[in-house]
Amino acid sequence: MTKILVLLLAIVGLMCGEWPDFLPPVDSGVVNVKLFGAVGDGKTDDTEAIRTAIAKHIDLNRYAAPVMIYLPAGTYLVSGPIEGRQYRDMGGWSSGWRAGFLLVGQGRTKTVIQLKDAAAGFTDATKPQALVATGSEADGGNPSGGGNRAFRHCVSNLTIDVGKGNPGAVGLDFIASNRGTVENVLIRAPAGSGSTGLAMNRGWPGPALIKHVEIQGFSTGIAMAGHWQYSMTFEDIVLRGQTEVGVTSDHNPIFMRRLTAVGESPVFRISNDDHLLVLIDAVCTAKAAKQPAIITPGIAYLRNVVCTGFSIAVDGRGEDDVKPPTPGKPVTVDEWSQGNTSAASAGAAKALALPVEETPLFWPSDTKQWVNGAKDLQAAIDSGAPVVYLPNGSYEIDKTIVVRGSVRKIVGFQSSLKAKAGVDPLIRIEDTANPVIFEHLWLDGNVVHVGRNSAAFRHVDFIGHRYQGLGKGRTFIEDVIGTWRITGAHKLWARQTNAEFGGEPLLINDGGTAWILGFKTEGEMVCLRSGGGATELLGGIFYPLRDVPGGTPAIDLAAEAQFSGSWVYNSKHYPVHVRFGDRDITGGWGRGPGLWSTRVAPATPAKP
């Protein structure tokens, strides 16, 4: 019981902390909705003012440098949906839906989008309607907003409240492609109101990152139904009081770390045996639930999951069920897997369970500590200021940017940096006094990290370029497009990375340490190659569009490399699942192995 309490307190403490306010400088290029008539007093209907701010900016630089729509502290009362679309052309191209919808508040408890009670269009539980929604671009008409061109959407630092008397309300209907995030958001519904808190039922959500999100109430907390592609990564999730189910999915893979779920309904209900669920560090608590905590007939890997008050902890494939010794009593699932293990070594595989470090954050609210780097980025970095910012826009770089000294954050307001011809690398990270965080940037050029400190990349694109960690430092990735290489003593922690550009191995570990939560590839190349060191893959989706050339492995490991991972395939198939030294490990067509590891040991049983 002591272990359970310690884990619960640790998870709740990490997830319940309030993040600092997001207060952009006045010349940052963000669009303040109050300049378009929004009041934010909780009484005035701000629907049209917010829609006007979106419509005037949603078509501007929507790929490399989309504009942030900013809601300062206040309660914004609305009577209809707030969507990422061109409201002046909803009957035209793509039915108005656009990529690059960034809806950002000042803080999770300070900025509230509040639906009117008993609002028209939200009162019928059989006809769900989204309060906030992102969408995908598509040629021709696209009324639903579904598709796979929903690039770089971001909803962050706010609360979405569906109000009373709105049983058909969906808090956030989210779709994103390759990169996108819902971060530091509370989605809530009063008792008797709310259909789904976070819906991702349109084709095809992901890959994207859902982080530091709490959902209170609703019939369903998180829904991912009706499609195969692509995958979603979650970290620091709280679910409270869902009446039907916490999380439901058909096929779309779920990779989740640190979950707290409280309520009497099942926490997970997976409906198909080709689904991949990876769940790490979770606490699921009920008073006297008559249903299982986790229902998963598919491919699954669970570790450090505590279930209390449920009749069954894990309802798998019958013989794989995990039950408490006494109904309703706590049970700890130390490590458990099931599913297609055709690529596994002989014996029961056991994961590496590499140590996890948290991504460094630095959020100074005082903008006096911020220096504008638009005119001379290198001079701004060397100025001694802790934060260098680039106003929304595109910048051409004629000399390698060297990151050094006391700078702690380089933040764009979704800004792009392009290296001129002959400039390589675009950025070189040397020794710094503190970890350096890069946020909301499009980096058109290679990046090299040779320093001894940490570098973190959050909501960043390396389109067609490679990041190399060559020194003794650390690299952290959250919601990033790019390809990666680390060597020697370098350490990498990645949460949601999309790699689909380039013919080389998409992720290379030459003797370092790599921990990955959520990894999506696209193409027929080697997905991951390790010439040594240790790599742990907690959830991957490998997506070859065409037949893979004969002999190309999905994962290529030197004999001395340590590796464990869970992944699935989509579309075509890799005939060679893993090349381990001089041995090819193959298997029949399937969605992928439940767990494959170069370490082989008896599985750890559940503990009472």
Q: Smallest Cα–Cα separation from 167: which of 106, 203, 121?
A: 121
Q: Does residue 223 share a domain with residue 139?
A: yes
Q: Smallest Cα–Cα separation from 356: which of 289, 419, 409, 304?
A: 304
Q: Does residue 277 share a domain with residue 244?
A: no
Tokens 């675009």 found at: 426
User: How confident is the model at residue 345, as a pLDDT?
Assistant: 41
Least confident of 321-325, 419-423, 509-513: 321-325
**Is residue 348 one of the residues assigned to a domain?**
no
**Is residue 207 one of the residues assigned to a domain?**
yes
**Boundary residue ending a domain (201, 231, 262):** 262
> What's the whole-number mean pLDDT along residues 273-279?
93
Residue 63 preceded by cis peptide, ω within 30: no
> What's the whole-number mean pLDDT along residues 404-426?
96
Tokens 């458990």 found at: 336
User: How confident is the model at residue 18, as a pLDDT?
Assistant: 72
User: How confident is the model at residue 591, as a pLDDT?
Assistant: 65
- Chain centroid to CA 400: 30
> What's the whole-number mean pLDDT along residues 157-163?
98
Q: What is the pLDDT of residues 236-251, one digit of tens each?
A: 999 999 999 999 999 9
165: DSSP letter: T
Q: Does residue 487 share a domain with residue 549?
A: yes
Q: Does residue 147 share a domain with residue 31?
A: yes
Q: Does residue 409 share a domain with residue 314?
A: no
Q: What is the pLDDT of residues 444-479, one digit of tens each?
A: 999 999 999 999 999 999 987 899 999 899 999 999
**Is residue 290 one of the residues assigned to a domain?**
yes
User: How confident is the model at residue 365, as a pLDDT?
Assistant: 73
Answer yes or no: is pLDDT of 343 > 90. no
**Boundary residue ending a domain (216, 243, 262):** 262
- Structural domain of residue 239, as residue ranges? 10-262
Task: Supply 562's token pair.
Answer: 């340590």
Q: Does residue 420 share a domain with residue 280?
A: no
225: DSSP letter: -
Number of domains composing the chain: 3
Q: Does residue 279 share a domain with residue 244?
A: no
**Is residue 37 one of the residues assigned to a domain?**
yes
User: How confident is the model at residue 1, as a pLDDT?
Assistant: 40
Q: Does residue 515 share a domain with residue 423?
A: yes
**Is residue 43 one of the residues assigned to a domain?**
yes
Q: Does residue 538 share a domain with residue 478?
A: yes
Q: What is the pLDDT of residues 359-374, one digit of tens each?
A: 999 988 787 889 999 9
User: How confident is the model at residue 327, as a pLDDT?
Assistant: 75
**Is residue 441 one of the residues assigned to a domain?**
yes
Share of the chain above pLDDT 90, in %: 79
Answer yes or no: is pLDDT of 494 > 90. yes
Q: Exposed, middle or buried by CB within 10 Å (0-12, 13-18, 19+), for 190?
A: middle
Q: Does residue 378 share a domain with residue 281?
A: no
User: How confident is the model at residue 550, as a pLDDT?
Assistant: 84
**Is residue 147 one of the residues assigned to a domain?**
yes
Answer yes or no: is pLDDT of 12 > 60. no
Which residues are 483's β-sheet partners? Answer: 466
Least confident of 144-153, 318-327, 547-556: 318-327
- Chain centroid to CA 448: 24
**Is residue 170 one of the residues assigned to a domain?**
yes
Q: Does residue 129 share a domain with residue 54?
A: yes
User: How confident is the model at residue 449, as a pLDDT?
Assistant: 98
Residues 445, 43: Cα–Cα separation, whole Å: 48
Mean pLDDT, the chain, rounded, equals 91
Residue 440 sits in a domain whose CATH number is 2.160.20.10
Residues 103, 82: Cα–Cα separation, whole Å: 10
C-alpha gyration radius of the chain? 23
User: How confident is the model at residue 599, as a pLDDT?
Assistant: 57
User: What 3-state class would DSSP assign to 10?
Assistant: helix
pTM given for the model: 0.95
Answer yes or no: is pLDDT of 606 > 80. no
Residue 132 sits in a domain whose CATH number is 2.160.20
**Boundary residue ending a domain (262, 279, 306):** 262
Q: Does residue 258 share a domain with residue 289?
A: no
Q: Smallest Cα–Cα separation from 566: which of 258, 296, 352?
A: 352
